[in-house]
Amino acid sequence: MKNPFKNIGPGTLVAAAFIGPGTVTVCTLAGVQFGYELLWALVLSIAATIVLQEMAARLGLVSGKGLAANVKAHIQQPSLRLLAVLLMLSAILVGNAAYEAGNISGGALGLQAIFEDTTVMIGSFQLNYLSILIGVIAFLLLYIGNYKVIERFLVGLVIVMSISFVLAAVLTQPNWLQVMQSVVVPKVPSESLLTVIALVGTTVVPYNLFLHASLVKEKWNGPDNLKAARKDLYISIILGGLVSMAIVVCGAAIQQTTVNNAADLAKGLEPLYGELASYVLGIGLFAAGITSAITAPMAAGYVARDCFGWQAGLKSSKFRAVWMLILLLGVVFSSIGFKSIEIIQFAQVANGVLLPIITGFLVYIGNKKSVLGTFKNSTLQNSIGILIILATLVLSARSLYKVFA
């Protein structure tokens, strides 16, 4: 009997990475503020994600190199190559370090919807022990350094997360006709444009492109496995899109402005739909936080490896040093509630600049026969890719505006 999960892996890890606490919060607020009306934006963002992630996965499988290594290899001018390396390190390493505390805190928030008091006082410090627990789980998985173990754990968590959010959405008894209409009929309510951009921006993220190009090489060897990689990608990203839509539907069930994040949503659903809705949403948020808390340090390790030219695997001391640093910073900042606005703003700027550049590079290298041979982009892929580049320029402008406005 065939194992239906045999070729499921890298795509699921990408879905696990983009459905983090940030995505959950954006989708929650979209539902609270605009009901079902922005579901169509998620459909577009998932389509764009599939196109870009397919290019990254295809590049990784056919070239046998990660995305950062391909960028380095195709920039001949030394000063430009150095600039590209610094930009990738700034966006992915510094960025993932800045966001890691949010991933861990988000996971802890999910459990706080179930367990009330999760802090202990140590002197004058208030310590959240759930943040440390999530950090320990992430550390053990990454330290084992076995891709199959990490993949199976994350696939399991994505299944738990999917069931949790979809079940919570069903428990709110939505108007399914309105939901379907909002999926296929675009509407831009007054003052919703920034939320539309945020919904796309939280799904199409630079570090997932680097992560995917490296993960496919852990799972498969060569272009013969491209069909399996695409199947994995389509199933996983569409599932991720459905989870995001379920969160919007949950948010739409509470038409009030006092909801600021998914933990508020979990508490807000309880008096309307019972404890079960609150609990399953809390479990979903925990799963979203811990999956992103594992994939973000992994992506940073892969980018550092490619940028510095290390011949390093998951168990190498250099690879471990990178993810350990990012995980440690995330656990410490999350457990004591520290937020460095300056570091987060720097990461937003770096990622805002990197997104259109790396998208343009993917479309450019996707047309090089010397790299991809017969697997280069089709005319349709190029057309969609150009539209996505234009969209990423808008996302980039918004990220920079948020920092400098």
Q: Which residue has better confidence, 107 or 327? A: 327
Please compute Rg for the chain using Cα positions: 20
- Percentages (nearest 5) of helix, strand, coil residues in the chain: 80, 0, 20
* Residues near 25 by beta carbon (within 8 Å), at least 6 away in sequence: 106, 261, 262
pLDDT band at 405 (very low <50, low <70, confident <90, very high): low
pLDDT digits 0-9 by tens, 251-267: 888 766 566 666 677 66
In 109-153, at which residue ranges do the beta strands (DSSP E only) sit?
A: 119-122, 125-128
pTM over 0.95: no
Kindly report, residue by residue over 11-39, the tens digit of the pLDDT: 999 998 888 888 888 888 888 889 899 99
Q: Distance between CA atoms of 223 and 329, rounded to whole angstroms? A: 38
Asked if residue 200 has pLDDT above 60, the reply is: yes
Residue 164: name the closest of 285, 31, 263 by CA.
285
How would DSSP label each residue in 20-79?
SHHHHHHHHHHHHHHTTTTHHHHHHHHHHHHHHHHHHHHHHHHHSS-HHHHHHHT--SHH
Residue range 89-137, pLDDT digits in tens: 888 888 888 788 888 888 888 877 677 666 666 666 667 778 888 899 9
Residue-wise pLDDT for 268-314, tens only, equals 676 666 777 778 888 888 888 899 999 999 999 999 999 998 887 88
Q: Which CATH number fits domain 10-339: 2.40.30.200, 1.20.1740.10, 1.10.540.10, 1.10.150.20?
A: 1.20.1740.10
Q: What is the rounded CA–CA span in Å between residue 201 and residue 187?
A: 18
2 DSSP 8-state letter: -
Q: CB burial class (10 A; 0-12, 13-18, 19+) of residue 191?
A: exposed
Please state the rounded mean pLDDT for residues 375-401: 85
Would you state the pLDDT for residue 87? Answer: 86
In which residue are the tokens 């006709």 written? 177
Instruction: Please tell me the predicted confidence (pLDDT) of residue 104.
Output: 87
Alpha carbon distance 99, 131 (integer Å):
14
pLDDT score for 273: 66
Contact 214, 66 (CB under 8 A): yes
Q: Give the C-alpha separation, 94 to 33, whole Å.
A: 32
Q: Which of 387, 401, 17 is nearest to 202 (CA)?
A: 17
74: pLDDT strictly greater than 80: yes
| pLDDT of res. 138 | 92
For 209-222, write each residue's pLDDT tens digit. Answer: 999 999 998 888 88
pLDDT at position 344:
60
pLDDT score, position 331: 86
